[in-house]
Amino acid sequence: MIRVVLIIKILLALLLLAEKSEAATLFSNSTRQWERTWEMKPGIFRVLQDGKIGIVNKEGDILVPIQYDQVYDLDREGYVRVLQNLKIGLYHLDKGMILPAEYDQIWPFENGVAKVLKNRKVGFVKSDGSTLIPTEYNHIWPAEDGFYKVLKDGRMGLIDLEGRMVVYPGYQQIWSFEEGYARVLKDGKMGFINRQGFEIIAPVYQQVWNFENGKARALSGTEVHYIDTLGRLLDKEVETIQLPVRESIQEEPAPRVRIGRDHVEVHRETHSKEIRVHKGTYTKRRNYFDGNLAGINLGINGYLNSNFKEQMPDGYEFMELNHSRSIEFSIYPFQRSTPLFSSNIGLVSALGLEYNNYRFSFKSLSEVPDHSIDWFPVLSETATIRKSKLTTLFLNVPLVMEFQVPDGSGNNLYFGAGVVGGMRLRSHTRTDSRDDGRKRKHKVRDDFDLRTFRYSYIARAGYDNFGIYATYSPMSMFKDNRGPELYPYTVGFSLNF
C-alpha cells in the first residue's frame, strides 16, 4: 500500500512539473511580440509594446488593452489602475473598464466603495463603477452612524450609505448621533437634528448638551434650561451660571517682559502709561522650579528595524534614508513646570507641533514595489526622481522629569527624561522629478497606514538656553500588518525660550 501511494505522489509531481513547463514555454513563445514584460503576480504580466502598456496572461491573451501610458496596483480582486494623459482610470481583468481615465486619484475599495478625486473634488464610486457620491465635495469622512459626513464650500452635510442626501451642507459642524439626535452648529448657535435630517430644535442656543433620557441641557444667556425632544422648555428645571467678576486693572501687578537679562515693566495709571526698562538687573529666582521644554528643536530623523539596525525590511528598500536631508523641526511655545522635592527637581509638560521629514534615496519609481506605489504620483517610465520624501505633522504633549544644577549665576545645567505623546495631524509625500528636460513637483496626501497616535521616549540635557535631545519610539511607525516594522528616532539640539 505504501508503494502505491508513493507512486501516485511521484506521478502527480511529474504532471505538475510538465504543466508548469508547458505554461512557461507558452508564455516564452508569446513574449516575442512584446518589447518588455514585468510579472505583476503569478501568471499575470505587464507588457510594453510601441510605447504603450497593457496586461496579458501566461498564454498571451490580452487582459487589459495595450494602450495606456502605465498600468499598476493590481489587487487581489482583479482591479488595476490605468494611466492615460496623466489621468487615472480603473480596469478589471474580467469585467473590463470600470472607470474611465479621467480622475486625479482613485483609492482602494473598502466595503465595496472607493474614494475618487477629480478636479480637486472628492466623491465615492461603487465596485461596478457607478457613482455613489458625486465628485463635488472638498472632503468626505469615513462612514459613521450610517452616514457619510461631507464638506462643501466650508459647510457640512450628511449623505446616507445609499448615496441619498439627508442633510444639505449648511452647518459649521455636525456631531455624532446620540439617542437618535445629533448636535449641529450654524452661524455660531447650536441646535439638534434627527436621523431623518430634520431640524427638531433650531440652532438658537449658545451651547447644547446631548440628550439623556429624553431631555437635554441648553444654554441661553446665563441660564441653562432643560428641553425635550420637541424643543419644549422644561422651565421647572433651570440652572443659573455666575459669570466671574474681573478685578480692577489697577490692582493687577505691572506686566513684565524678559529680554535676555533685561526686563521691561508697564505701569498703568488712570490717565497715563509708563514703560520702564531695567537693564541687567533681572536674575532668575531660585525659590521656584522653571523647566526647559518651551523652545525650538532641530534634529536629524531616522528609523530602526526590530533588530535596532538601519536595514530596511524586504520590499521596503526604497525607504533607505538620506540622513543629512531628513530633518525634524518642532516648537513648544508653552510649558508648565511643577516642583517635586525642591526648586531643582520637577515635572515639565508642554504642548507643541513636530514636523518630521524623511528623505528617501531612490532615483526611479521602478525601485518602488506595487504595494507602495500609491505613495507617489504616477510618472512615465523615463522619469527620474530628483527628490522624494515622506513628511508628517504631529501635535505633541511631552512630560519630562528634570534635574537642575545651578551654577550660582542664575543659569542651570539640566538633565531630563520622560515620554512624548503625539497625534498625527497630517502626512504627505513629495516627489520632484525630471522628464524630457522638464522639472515637476507632486504631492500625495494620505495616511499611508501610519499610526494616528504614538508615544516616544525622550532624553534631554543642556545648559542655560541651549541643549541637546534624543527621542525613540517603541511603537512602529505603521499600523500592524499594514506597513514595514520601523521605529523612528531623532537626535538634535534645542534653543529654549
Distance CA 184, CA 121 (A): 24
Q: Would the pLDDT of 382 be above 60?
A: yes
The CA-atom distances, in angstroms, between 67 and each of 34, 48, 62, 70, 206 are: 13, 9, 11, 9, 60
Band of the pLDDT at 32, cuts 50, 70, 90?
Answer: low
Q: How far apart are CA 27 and CA 173, in angstroms?
A: 58
pLDDT higher than 80, residue 380: no
pLDDT at residue 290, rounded to an integer: 86
Mean pLDDT of 121-136: 94
Three cell numbers, residue 178? 446620540
3 state DSSP class of 16: helix
Mean pLDDT of 226-249: 63
d(CA 196, CA 173): 17
* Burial of 480 per CB tally in 10 Å (0-12, 13-18, 19+): exposed
Q: Which residue has the higher pLDDT, 13 or 401?
A: 401
Q: When comparing pLDDT for 298 and 464, which is higher?
A: 298
Of 352, 300, 346, 325, the closest CA to residue 496 belongs to: 352
- Phi, psi (deg, nearest 5) at residue 7: -65, -40
From first CA to last CA, the distance across the chain in angstroms is 85
Q: Regarding predicted confidence, which is higher, 188 or 364?
A: 188
The conformation of residue 360, written as its DSSP 8-state character, comes to B
Report which of residues 112 and 263 the model is more confident about.
112
What digits encode the pLDDT tens for the residues 104-128? 999 999 989 999 999 999 999 999 9
Exposure on the CB side of residue 40, measured as CA atoms within 13 A? 27
Say if pTM beats, i.e. exceeds, 0.75: no
pLDDT average, residue stretch 246-259:
52
In this prediction, residue 81 carries a pLDDT of 94
Is-contact 338 362, C-beta < 8 A? no
pLDDT of amino acid 7:
62
**Amino acid identity, position 95:** K
pLDDT band at 21 (very low <50, low <70, confident <90, very high): very low
User: Which H/E stretch holds residue 38?
Assistant: strand 36-41
Out of 179-188, 284-293, 350-359, 483-492, pick the least confident.
284-293
* 471-495 per-position pLDDT tens digit: 999 999 999 888 899 999 999 999 9
Alpha-carbon span 388 to 429, nearest angstrom: 7
Nine cell digits for residue 303: 528609523
Q: What is the separation of C-alpha 312 from the centre of its chain, rounded to a whole number of angstroms?
A: 22
- What pLDDT was estimated at residue 84? 93
The candidate with the shortest Cα–Cα distance to 190, out of 166, 169, 218, is 218
Q: Higher-confidence residue: 228 or 276?
A: 228
Q: What is the pLDDT of residue 250?
A: 45
pLDDT at 271 over 50: no
Residue 284 pLDDT greater than 50, yes or no: no
Q: Are 165 and 175 in contact (CB under 8 A)?
A: no
Whether the CB-CB separation of 320 and 312 falls below 8 Å is answered with: yes
Q: For the residues of 295-313, what is the DSSP string, one character each?
A: EEEEEEEEEE-TTSSS-PP
More confident position, 273 or 209: 209
Q: For residue 22, what pLDDT is reported? A: 44
Cell of 52: 504603450
Enumerate residues 6+ apart whose C-beta is below 8 A from 33: 49, 60
Nearest to 315 by CA among 245, 240, 367, 390: 367
Examine the pLDDT at 249 and tell me if it is beyond 60: no
Distances (CA, A) of 166 to 191, 194, 204, 327, 461: 17, 10, 21, 46, 56
Contact 88, 106 (CB under 8 A): yes
Query: Has residue 260 got a pLDDT over 60?
Result: no
Distance from C-alpha of 219 to C-alpha of 205, rounded to nearest angstrom: 6
Summarised one tens digit per residue, pLDDT across range 35-69 is 999 998 899 999 999 999 999 998 889 999 999 99
Task: Quick: pLDDT tens for 387-428.
Answer: 899 999 999 999 999 999 987 777 789 999 999 999 999 999
Q: Answer with the residue of higher pLDDT: 334 or 255.
A: 334
Distance CA 322, CA 116 (A): 33
Question: Domains of the chain (ranges plus CATH)?
Answer: 172-240 (2.40.10), 249-278 (no CATH), 295-496 (no CATH)
Mean pLDDT, the chain, integer:
84
Residues of the chain with pLDDT > 70, as a percent, come to 82
Which is higher by pLDDT, 288 or 319?
Answer: 319
- The mean pLDDT of 151-162, rounded to a whole number, is 94
Q: Contacts from 93-101 at CB under 8 Å and sequence distance 24+?
A: 93/44, 93/55, 93/63, 93/64, 95/128, 97/129, 98/127, 98/128, 98/129, 99/125, 99/129, 101/68
